[in-house]
Amino acid sequence: MEQSPTLEHFRVARPVPVARITAGHFIMAVALLVLGYFLIWPIILLLINSFNAATDWFVEPRVWGLRHWQNAFLRPGLLRSLGNSLVIWSLTVAFSFPIGLTIAWILARTRIPFSRTLEFMFWISYMVPALPTTIAWITLLDPDIGLVNTGLIKLGLFDQGPFNIFSVPGIVWANLMGHSIAIKVMLLTPAFRNMDAAMEEAARVGGASNLRTLFKVTLPLMISPMILVFALQLLRIFQSFETEYLLGLPFGFFVYSTKIFTLIRDPVPNYGEATVLASITLLLIALIIPVQRWILDRRRYTTITGSFRPGLIDLGRWNYIAFGLIAFLLMLLTVGPLSILVVGSFMTRIGYFMLGFTLDNWKWVLSDPVFLKALRTTLVLGTTAAIVSPLLFSVIAYILVRTRLPGHDALDLMIWCSGAIPGILAGLGLLWLFLSTPVLDFLFGTIWALIIVVILQGNTTGVNIMKGVFVQVGADMEEAARVSGAGWIRTYFQIWLPLLMPSLMLLAVTSFVHAAGATSSIVLLASRDTMTLSLMALELSSIAVSNREAASIISIFIIILTVAGALIVRYFGSHLGVRHDLHVNTVP
């Protein structure tokens, strides 16, 4: 008789592990859907419509074909404008990056007098919009009526003006005196300040000089934020517009962005070819992302840990020499152009002192109802961007650096790709999005559309600023807080917030400045009811209106708003963050 099978004869199947859906997965899904819809889908709409062979997209019916692609590469000056963009960018970076890096190191790692004040003056330099800064340097260095040139001629030093702002060197100079140096100092100084001095001190104890320590220890430790800043600068090859437009057109010099603008400003706007040309910038991202990913994966660049010790270097008499040189540069960046801006606002005609001075320009601007409405719109736009952007971008940066959730690489790629699209075409893509989506069509012409645009336009810079900070900060303090029972919210406010505060304050100010000075990204979405101060200044300084005096007045109001905002956030930010003036009292 056969025995009945026992339990030993049966094999119990192992349970198949089921992927657990966490709150992190939900947050990642929401981030991908929302950001993908507002960042990537408009780009796809632009690419799709680039195959629309109709001459006028908004009037004629769609006719699919490759005509715009063919005409784009046959159009004269296309390749030359690409080369011009690379030349201007290369020359600007070749001068601004080493200058900005050196100044950031001096301000953050040495005992230079008034380092915080000097750092804040670079903030002020960055707050001055590119448009009035360029106008100020035109007033100074115009070859015919520039104040510097006419002064040198009257002194008998030259027969004709030696300086010509309407040239390639003039464009590079205007970019350097604009935001190129200031933004690098602003981004790199907090990174230098948050670096642990233990390894630098070890190098000096081993006999290395300050200069050798800088090149052998400090700069290698700073490679992560340096590369991130360089990558962000790389995205601006095709983004800059105002300076190149005002200084390049008089002598027929086009860069990529001004070439796109001329296509859009044709009597019949050529959106098709402009979109085709803009799509070329996506190739740039293929070069940036591998470098950026390589930097993030190198954990040895952590410079803040639980044993963090700040330290400053005493350069002796060189402290005062460095102070003098930086102060002189700040005069060129701020006092000079700002003085011309203020003087020009009272001139009957900028550049012509013989016509005298007047208050009529101020009376006209202050009594204009459009100006009052633009002032209110700018305040709402800037304040909203300054509050929402740092919080949103810090969360996205945390997800990208501190987690490995599914969709991580797609989110990172999305952030970088959105930064490659010129502002005016990003605005065009969102215009198509709003008009083609029944649920969102009510946003067109409202301030909500402008808020969405200015926040999204700053995402590439904002997220990567915060990524650079997260890469620097070691995980041991966060892990210690979690082991002690602190949740994510408590860890964020007690650990991350003090460490991130300098960068959050920086991001709040840059977001406000960007929103207050935004032009190309919002010009297609704004209406007369939602005109901002920057759009009003752009309109007044255009060739059709040519009222630089009124544009200068409006720019002064923009500067006052941004400086006041910076003072407020600097006051609160100075009470938080990593302290560098603390001393450890050892017990004998």
On whether residue 84 sits in a domain, the answer given is yes
On whether residue 482 sits in a domain, the answer given is yes
pLDDT digits (tens), the chain, 588 positions: 445 555 454 454 555 554 566 666 777 888 888 888 888 888 788 778 778 887 766 677 778 888 888 887 787 777 788 788 889 888 998 999 889 988 988 888 788 888 888 888 887 787 777 777 887 888 788 887 777 887 888 787 887 878 899 899 999 999 888 888 888 888 888 777 766 666 666 656 666 666 676 666 667 777 777 777 776 676 666 677 778 877 888 888 888 777 877 777 777 777 777 777 777 766 665 666 566 556 555 544 444 444 444 556 777 788 888 889 999 998 888 887 778 888 878 888 776 667 778 888 898 889 888 899 999 998 898 889 888 888 888 888 888 887 777 887 888 878 877 776 777 777 778 877 887 777 787 887 788 888 888 888 878 778 877 887 777 666 666 677 667 666 666 666 677 777 777 778 778 877 887 887 787 788 778 888 888 888 888 778 766 667 778 878 887 887 787 777 666 765 665 555 554 444 444 444
On whether residue 16 sits in a domain, the answer given is no
CATH number reported for the structural domain that contains residue 503 in this entry = 1.10.3720.10
Task: Kindly state the DSSP code that residue 300 receives in the 8-state scheme.
Answer: G
351: left (phi over 0), alpha (psi -120 to 50) or beta: left
Torsion angle (degrees, nearest 10) of CA 460, 464, 467, 472? 180
On whether residue 7 sits in a domain, the answer given is no
On whether residue 9 sits in a domain, the answer given is no
Which of 122, 172, 100 is CA-nearest to residue 333? 122
On whether residue 242 sits in a domain, the answer given is yes
Range of the domain at 485: 23-573
DSSP secondary structure string for all residues of 431-463: HHHHHH-TTTGGGTTSHHHHHHHHHHHTHHHHH
On whether residue 102 sits in a domain, the answer given is yes
Rounded to whole angstroms, the Cα distance separating 115 from 117 reads: 5
Q: Which two tokens stand for residue 8?
A: 């030993």
Rounded to whole angstroms, the Cα distance separating 245 from 511 reads: 24
The pair phi, psi for residue 571, each rounded to 5°, is -65, -50
Q: Is 571 helix (H, G, I), strand (E, B) or coil?
A: helix
On whether residue 12 sits in a domain, the answer given is no
Rounded to whole angstroms, the Cα distance separating 254 from 276 reads: 17
The domain total for the chain is 1
* Distance from the first to the final alpha carbon of the chain: 89
